[in-house]
Structure 1
Amino acid sequence: MIASDLDGTLLRNDGTLSPRTLRALRAAEGAGAEIVIVTARPPRFVDRLAEATGLVGTAVCGNGALVYDIATRTVVSSRTLPLTTARRVATALAAVVPEVGFALETGNQVLYEPAYRLRLCEDIDAELPVPSLADLWLTDAPVTKLLAWSERLDADTLLAAARHGAGDEVQLTHSGGRGLLEISAPGVTKAGTLSMLCAGRGIAAAEVIAFGDMPNDLTVLSWAGTGYAMANAHPAVLAAVPVHTVSNEEDGVAHVIERLLAGTDRPGSDRPGADGV
């Protein structure tokens, strides 16, 4: 199995999948590998990518909250965040970071209160405002993530503050968004969901090659038999993951796949060079 993050990893900075990377993925599938997208993004982003590229298969979305069948556009399984937990964590975090704003990701929409002023132009049709923070907790939609955003603090600082304020009640991480913290149900990680997916397919961790660039990818990169950090990865990821590939702008995922299929490299090689440390 080849498991890859999307933004900053499989996709270029403009959000597109390059022809070279698409060819490499097709070649890997032709050689018998299963391709699984493992992303913080919701299914609607995966749908757009599939429409543009023809990719099918399985995606782990929402940092592990959802398993999604791309071809049928069906959520196969989900691990949602209880609304009462989301509200309790938001209250605790707001006490530590008073200016923080909150939103709820449901997989279909982002519900946001007035203090949450982060807007994604590519997701504008899915963003739905509510009049106040109190109204945010009235939804009956399943919640895949609580999003916390600070205009003043970067994501790493906000993550540290949340760990102090929220404790072990939820899973905290970030995927590089400016001042954006992603909060899931306890124990929900990319690696946890991918490992369950692999167990159902009879695939061992040693048979998984993973790619990522941000702190939310660390669980997968450390769990997989071989985890590759992109050259453009977050400093914490580059420090924690011993094997690197070239950047997403240089088709780093394709670079590794091509070498593996050509027999000029092996998973986990630490040989100096484009894919070595």
Structure 2
Amino acid sequence: MIASDLDGTLLRNDGTLSPRTLRALRTAESAGAEVVLVTARPPRFVDRLAEAAGLVGTAVCSNGALVYDIGTRTVVSSRALPLATARRVATALAAAVPEIGFALETGSHVLYEPAYRLRLSEDIDAELPVPSLADLWLTDLPVTKLLAWSDRLDADALLAAAEEGAGGEVQLTHSGGRGLLEISASGVTKAGTLSMLCAGRGIDATEVIAFGDMPNDLTVLDWAGTGYAMGNAHPSVLAAIRTHTLSNEEDGVAHVIERLFGGTA
């Protein structure tokens, strides 16, 4: 199995999948490897990528909260963040970080309160404002992630503040977004969900080749038989993972696949 993150890893900086990387993925699949996307992104983003590149198969989305069948556009399994837990964590973070804003990711939409001013142009159709922070907790939609955003702290500093104030109750990580913290239910990680997926397929960790660039990828890169940190990876990832490849702009994933499975640039 090849397990790859998307942003900053499989995709170039403009969000596209290069022809070389797409050819490499096809080569690996022809050789019998399954390609699984393992991403912080929700299914709706995977759908857009799949339409553009003709991808099928399985994706682990929302940092492990969802397993998604790309071909049928079906959530196969999910691990939701309890709304009461999200509210308690948000309360603790708000006390520690002034002017922090919050949003709830549901997989299909992002509900956000006024202090959450982060906007993603590619996600504009999925963003739903609510009048106040209190209204955020009235949703009856299942929550895959609590998003916390600050324009004062970078993601690493925000993560440190959250670990001190609320680290024991949830899974905290980030994927490099400016001042953006991603909060999942306790125990939900990319690696945990991928390992369950592999167990169901009879695939051992030693048979998995993984690629990633951000702290939320570390669990997968540690768990897989071979984990590759991208050349453009976060410093903590480059320090923790011994095996590196080229950057995403240099088609680092394709570079490894071509060496392992054949194929040319």
Alignment pair present for 1:147 and 2:147? yes
Deviation at 1:261, TM superposition (A): 1.3
Q: Within 5 A, what are the aligned runs for 1:231-270?
A: 231-262=231-262
Q: Within 5 A, what are the aligned runs for 1:115-154?
A: 115-154=115-154
Counterpart in the other structure of 1:156: 156
CA contact (8 A) 2:103 2:111 kept: yes
CA separation in 2, counterparts of 1:41 and 1:148? 15
Deviation at 1:262, TM superposition (A): 3.1
CA separation in 2, counterparts of 1:98 and 1:145? 21
Gaps of 5+ in 1: 264-277
Gaps of 5+ in 2: none
Counterpart in the other structure of 1:16: 16
CA separation in 2, counterparts of 1:260 and 1:167? 39
CA separation in 1, counterparts of 2:140 and 2:203? 36
CA separation in 1, counterparts of 2:30 and 2:167? 45
Alignment pair present for 1:194 and 2:194? yes
CA separation in 2, counterparts of 1:91 and 1:98? 11
Instruction: Please give the secondary structure, in 2, of the residue aligned with 1:157.
Output: helix
Instruction: Please give the secondary structure, in 2, of the residue aligned with 1:210.
Output: strand
Matched to 2:115, the amino acid is: A
Deviation at 1:99, TM superposition (A): 1.1
CA separation in 2, counterparts of 1:98 and 1:186? 25
CA contact (8 A) 2:27 2:262 kept: no
CA separation in 1, counterparts of 2:124 and 2:262? 42
Deviation at 1:167, TM superposition (A): 2.7
CA separation in 2, counterparts of 1:184 and 1:168? 12
Counterpart in the other structure of 2:226: 226
Q: Within 5 A, what are the aligned runs for 1:102-117?
A: 102-117=102-117
Deviation at 1:35, TM superposition (A): 0.2
Deviation at 1:189, TM superposition (A): 0.1
Q: Within 5 A, what are the aligned runs for 1:51-90?
A: 51-90=51-90
CA separation in 1, counterparts of 2:221 and 2:235? 14
Instruction: Please give the secondary structure, in 2, of the residue aligned with 1:103.
Output: strand
Deviation at 1:193, TM superposition (A): 0.0
CA separation in 1, counterparts of 2:168 and 2:215? 17
Structure 1 runs of 4+ with >6 Å offset: none
Instruction: Please give the secondary structure, in 2, of the residue aligned with 1:139.
Output: coil
TM-score, length of structure 2 as denominator length: 0.99
Counterpart in the other structure of 2:166: 166
CA separation in 1, counterparts of 2:160 and 2:167? 10
User: Residues 234-264 of structure 1: CA distance to partner in whole angstroms, max 9, x if unpaired?
Assistant: 000000000000000000000000001139x
CA separation in 1, counterparts of 2:248 and 2:133? 37
CA separation in 2, counterparts of 1:201 and 1:242? 28
Matched to 1:227, the amino acid is: G
Instruction: Please give the secondary structure, in 2, of the residue aligned with 1:156.
Output: helix
Deviation at 1:77, TM superposition (A): 0.1
Instruction: Please give the secondary structure, in 1, of the residue aligned with 2:98.
Output: coil
CA separation in 1, counterparts of 2:94 and 2:156? 16
Q: CA RMSD in A?
A: 0.7
Deviation at 1:196, TM superposition (A): 0.1
Deviation at 1:98, TM superposition (A): 1.8
Counterpart in the other structure of 2:35: 35
